[in-house]
Amino acid sequence: MQTTIVYRGKTYHTDLDDPIDISMPLRASEDNPVAWYLGAPEITPVKEGSWTGSVAEGGATNFNTIVFNPHAHGTHTECAGHITREFYSINTVLKKFFFIAELISVSPVQKGEDQCITRQQLEDGMEGKNVEAIVIRTLPNGPEKLRRKYSHTNPPYLEEDAARYLRDIGIKHLLIDLPSVDKEKDDGRLLAHKAFWDIEHNIRLDATITELIFVPDGVQNGTYLLNLQIASFENDASPGKPVLYKLK
């Protein structure tokens, strides 16, 4: 379905019949990506006496219980409530679901034992674009991200000034293919989270961070319509299904 969008004085055209899903599927398998020192998610049929929630095992319906952690087991969208004493729910603060987004690709810079995404790299990638959301694909990129075990690997992360830059140019929704925008083991400083949400000054409750996305190599850098989908969890984070639509 061809659709016309007018955004900040510009007219775009897109085809809603041509979605690009950049979420990771959640699987009850050791092939599922995992972070933060947890095991694989579990999807198991309910069993009550002789009754089973599995048609393959003789039940009338499939009736599974799912045990997972949104931060550790796949694509998830989080709000400032992830790091605040006060409770804020992603289901409450995220009220709009379509945004204009810029997809950029970045090769993290080696700094000592760390790999970092810098402010300069983001400035170069954005090239002055005036959008609400940014999608960051890190390089090298490959399907192994769909099953990577991130615990104790010190993945790349955003420098504090890079996150501050995104806040300062008006980015409300940050999407990235890493388990966190911050260093895995940083003694709880969470500098990029705090800078992006402006925790110490004017907290941005309407801003979100989506982590553990996956953008295939065939998807070109550029401007997209983003549909930021979540489940209605009253929690700081929810499993997410962000979808892109190429804009012309």
The backbone torsions φ and ψ at residue 79, rounded to the nearest 5 degrees and listed phi first, read -115, 180
Q: What is the identity of the amino acid at 222?
A: G
Q: CATH: 3.40.50.12780, 1.10.760.10, 3.50.30.50, 3.40.1710.10. Which one for 2-26+70-246?
A: 3.50.30.50
**pLDDT at position 233:** 97
Q: Which two tokens stand for residue 194?
A: 């705090």
**pLDDT at position 228:** 98
**pLDDT at position 7:** 86
**pLDDT at position 221:** 98
**pLDDT at position 94:** 98
Q: Provide the CA 34 distance to its chain's centre, in angstroms.
A: 14
**pLDDT at position 36:** 98
d(CA 131, CA 172): 9
Handedness of CA 64, 68, 70, 75 (dihedral sign): negative
One pLDDT digit (tens) per residue for the chain, 248 residues: 899 988 888 899 999 999 999 999 999 999 999 999 999 999 999 999 999 999 999 999 999 999 999 999 999 999 999 999 999 999 999 999 999 999 999 999 999 999 999 999 999 999 999 999 999 999 999 999 999 999 999 999 999 999 999 999 999 999 999 999 999 999 999 999 999 999 999 999 999 999 999 999 999 999 999 999 999 999 999 999 999 999 99
β partners of residue 153: none
- H-helix segments, the chain: 90-93, 119-126, 160-168, 191-197
d(CA 186, CA 215): 27
User: Could you tell me where the beta strands, DSSP code E, fall in the chain?
Assistant: 2-7, 10-15, 20-21, 42-45, 47-48, 51-52, 64-67, 76-78, 98-106, 109-111, 114-117, 133-138, 157-158, 173-176, 208-211, 222-230, 237-246
Reported as half-sphere exposure (CB side, CA atoms, 13 A), residue 3 has a value of 15
**pLDDT at position 59:** 96
**pLDDT at position 33:** 97
**pLDDT at position 167:** 98
For the whole model, what pTM was predicted? 0.97
d(CA 239, CA 177): 14
**pLDDT at position 186:** 96
Residue 96, CA distances (Å) to 115, 168, 228, 244 in order: 33, 21, 8, 15
**pLDDT at position 70:** 97
d(CA 42, CA 64): 10
d(CA 223, CA 204): 24
